[in-house]
Amino acid sequence: MILNGRAPYKPLDFGGGGVTGSVDADGCLIALNGYHAQHGYITLTAADPFPDDQRYDPRAVRAYRANLVHLRGFGCRADAPITRRSSALLSGALPRLTQHYTDGALHMLTFAANGGAYQLWRAEGVAPRWAGRFNLMRCAYTQLTEGGVIAAPPVVQQVRLQDGVLTVENPALGAAVAVHGFAPDQALAVTYQGAATLDLALSGTESGALCYAFGETADEAAERAAQLAQGSPSVSFREVSLVWAHRMRDLDQNPLVQRGLVYCLLCAVPVGEGVCLLTDHMLLPLSWNRDAYYMARALLAWRGNQSEVFEVVRRHLIWLFEQAQRLNSTDWARCYMANGMVKDAAYQLDQQLYPLLELADYTRLTGDRELLARFEGQIAAWIQALLARKQAHAALFPTDETPGDDPIALPYHFSSHILLWHTLRALARIGAVGYAWDALANQVRQAIQQYFLVDNKDDHRTDFYRQSVLYAYAVDGAGRHHLYHDANDLPFALMPFWGFCAAADPTWQRTAVFAFSPSNIGGYYGGRLGSVHTPAAWALGDVQDLLIGQALGDDQRQARARAFLDAAAQWDGALSEAYDAASGAVISRAWFAWTNAALACAELGVFEDDHSP
């Protein structure tokens, strides 16, 4: 992948088999992350822990997350002024960075394989050392809408260097990391209460390999790191590079689409028989069913890589249905740690629907009905739990929060009901047993048309919209409604693809016009669609713009949306959550899997066959 040096910078990412990480502009690690059975996801990172007493302070959360982009990492460096840097992302997944000096250069190549991570280094005319500051800790899980603080273990680091192996153990965390590849004549044993800072000699003078491995104890991590070193790191790189070259062979050449598919695979964390799909590996290594659905749907479209990605999605469904804890034994939570433990227990209607839709899509696209039969009892319990929330006189189903994780003033949310209608139809389409899915879908459709269609005659935000019938964002089922549209509400843009209405439907078109107009207070930002969750333009809003253009056959609108997305992309093709509409600078979340995954779905045409015949 060619990096766009004119776009906003972010650290480059790598990963595989549940181990993920990012490197700074010099190729040094800012984070190396791995699965942990108790804490979900842990990290050896240049960042400090986030204070638990600031978790309800959005400004502090935003500042912490933004600073991760600018961290100076730990790793190989030479004691000389850097004259320039060169960077590459091989196959979109393997960072290769070079520090150039007046009289030489230091080349760094980073990748994950065999349950650990490697950094291959080669020096020309300089003598590098391994140096930097780090913490071994639970991932920070910094949320703008904190759903309940899970106290992080303290950072207590027992650091030992012996026989060329550095071990870092945090007993409070119940985890350790080992690094193999240091000069064997060094020895160190010290305990740090907080961050550790080291400066160590490497094994070799012209080239070498650093092999990183996690373990529950220092001895276990050291044994695993030694195994990585014994297996020939250069051979491991050749093997990994061939795998990634094969994966990328048939991919769309759009770097934003490539990023979407590659990052979805990087964020696939094996958990026993299942796989957790993280929303990102740096800021929020948690899983939302909503984000994960679009990730899984994009992976199912990776035509040249079908057998591998089919297996990832199959295992993700196992994680969803059998490993993710359920509220009241049936309801999915707002979000989860990688181990399946509930992080936030809020009830969101769309989070209840995406697992069933993913199962239906997987069954239809792969022909594999084993999981459908395996989860049959759960599906029956799920529909009964859902029906228990139904309004008595109409097929309206409440939610406690919006898809943006924000409180909702009125209980019935429009795009979640579109998603409900589509999910019920998808279950009918694959012949799921246990309920009259089409009959309930028809009831939901009737409720949408009866309660969400509102006459705007009393809204005086602009003369244009007076007496225009629109779909309301939320209603109470008794006459009150809220007019708004949010970048998180992709089901609205998908209505024509899913067959709820034709693209020529005047109400859908008027609502789309409203969404991208100044009348959409809190959701409109300089011609782009955003969200009150983070008041700015959102790339997910641009994806909606693209989908609406595709539905309408409007080439000009599609070109405009793609131009907005290109302007918002960071140098590796990654799309943030929110960005400055004028400059393209990231305002929120430099790492975010959902946006690129949704774009990949749109560009690869995965919704075009979602309309039941």
Structure tokens at 468: 């225009």
Mean pLDDT for the stretch of residues 107-126? 97
For residue 461, name the pLDDT band (cuts at 50, 70, 90).
low
For residue 218, name the pLDDT band (cuts at 50, 70, 90).
very high
**Bridge partner list, 210:** 119
Q: What are phi and psi of 429, to 5 degrees?
A: -65, -35
Asked if residue 197 lies in contact with residue 132, where contact means CB atoms within 8 angstroms, the answer is yes
Asked if residue 545 lies in contact with residue 529, where contact means CB atoms within 8 angstroms, the answer is yes
Structure tokens at 75: 């790793």
Q: Is pLDDT at 590 greater than 90 in this prediction?
A: yes
H/E stretch holding 92 reads: none
- pLDDT value, residue 493: 98
Q: Is pLDDT at 238 greater than 60 in this prediction?
A: yes
Q: Who's near 416: CB < 8 A, 6+ residues apart? A: 348, 349, 350, 353, 397, 399, 403, 491
pLDDT: is 456 or 27 the higher one? 27
Q: What are phi and psi of 309, to 5 degrees?
A: -75, -30
- Least reliable range by pLDDT among 151-160, 359-368, 459-468: 459-468
- pLDDT value, residue 303: 83
Within 301-447, strands assigned E span 326-327, 331-332, 335-336, 342-344, 412-413
Supply the mean pLDDT for the chain: 96
Asked if residue 314 lies in contact with residue 368, where contact means CB atoms within 8 angstroms, the answer is yes
Strands 12-16 and 19-23: antiparallel
Tell the burial category of 410 from Cβ atoms under 10 Å away from its Cβ (0-12, 13-18, 19+): middle
- pLDDT value, residue 612: 58
Mean pLDDT for the stretch of residues 243-258? 91
Structure tokens at 80: 């000389």
Structure tokens at 108: 């760094």
- pLDDT value, residue 333: 98
Q: Who's near 306: CB < 8 A, 6+ residues apart? A: none
Q: What are phi and psi of 105, to 5 degrees?
A: -155, 160
Largest CA distance in the chain: 82
List C-alpha distances in Å: 173 to 177, 194, 234, 612.
11, 13, 32, 50
CA–chain centroid gap for 151, Å, is 23
Q: Is pLDDT at 197 greater than 60 in this prediction?
A: yes
What single DSSP character describes residue 450?
I
Mean pLDDT for the stretch of residues 354-375? 98
Structure tokens at 535: 């008041």
What gap in Å lies between CA 67 and CA 47, rounded to an integer? Answer: 9
pLDDT digits (tens, 9 = 90+) for 423-449: 999 999 999 999 999 999 999 999 999
- pLDDT value, residue 459: 60
- pLDDT value, residue 201: 97
Taken in order of first residue, the domains within the chain and their CATH numbers are 12-240 (2.70.98), 256-608 (1.50.10.10)
For residue 611, name the pLDDT band (cuts at 50, 70, 90).
confident
Mean pLDDT for the stretch of residues 459-472? 67
Query: What's at 108, amino acid-wise?
Result: M
Mean pLDDT for the stretch of residues 253-278? 97
Residue found by looking up tokens 């809408």 in the block = 145
- pLDDT value, residue 581: 94
How much of the chain exceeds pLDDT 90, in percent?
Answer: 94
Q: Is pLDDT at 35 greater than 60 in this prediction?
A: yes
pLDDT digits (tens, 9 = 90+) for 545-571: 999 999 999 999 999 999 999 999 999
What gap in Å lies between CA 415 and CA 228, rounded to an integer? Answer: 48
DSSP annotation string for 289-344: HHHHHHHHHHHTT-GGGHHHHHHHHHHHHHIIIIIS-EETTTEE-SEE-TTS-EEE
Rg (alpha carbons) of the chain, rounded to whole number: 25
Mean pLDDT for the stretch of residues 466-491? 92
Structure tokens at 186: 């060094």
Asked if residue 537 lies in contact with residue 560, where contact means CB atoms within 8 angstroms, the answer is no
- pLDDT value, residue 456: 72
Query: What's at 128, amino acid-wise?
Result: P
For residue 610, name the pLDDT band (cuts at 50, 70, 90).
confident
pLDDT digits (tens, 9 = 90+) for 446-460: 999 999 999 876 565
List C-alpha distances in Å: 96 to 89, 240, 389.
6, 14, 53
Terminal CA-CA length for the chain = 39
For residue 251, name the pLDDT band (cuts at 50, 70, 90).
confident
Asked if residue 355 lies in contact with residue 419, where contact means CB atoms within 8 angstroms, the answer is no
Structure tokens at 249: 């062979």
Mean pLDDT for the stretch of residues 461-470? 63
- pLDDT value, residue 58: 96
Tell the burial category of 407 from Cβ atoms under 10 Å away from its Cβ (0-12, 13-18, 19+): exposed
Asked if residue 225 lies in contact with residue 234, where contact means CB atoms within 8 angstroms, the answer is no
pLDDT digits (tens, 9 = 90+) for 315-328: 999 999 999 999 99
User: Minimal CA–CA distance to 279: which of 386, 172, 144, 176?
Assistant: 144
Mean pLDDT for the stretch of residues 129-156? 97
pLDDT digits (tens, 9 = 90+) for 483-525: 999 999 999 999 999 999 999 999 999 999 999 999 999 999 9
Asked if residue 268 lies in contact with residue 277, where contact means CB atoms within 8 angstroms, the answer is yes
- pLDDT value, residue 532: 97
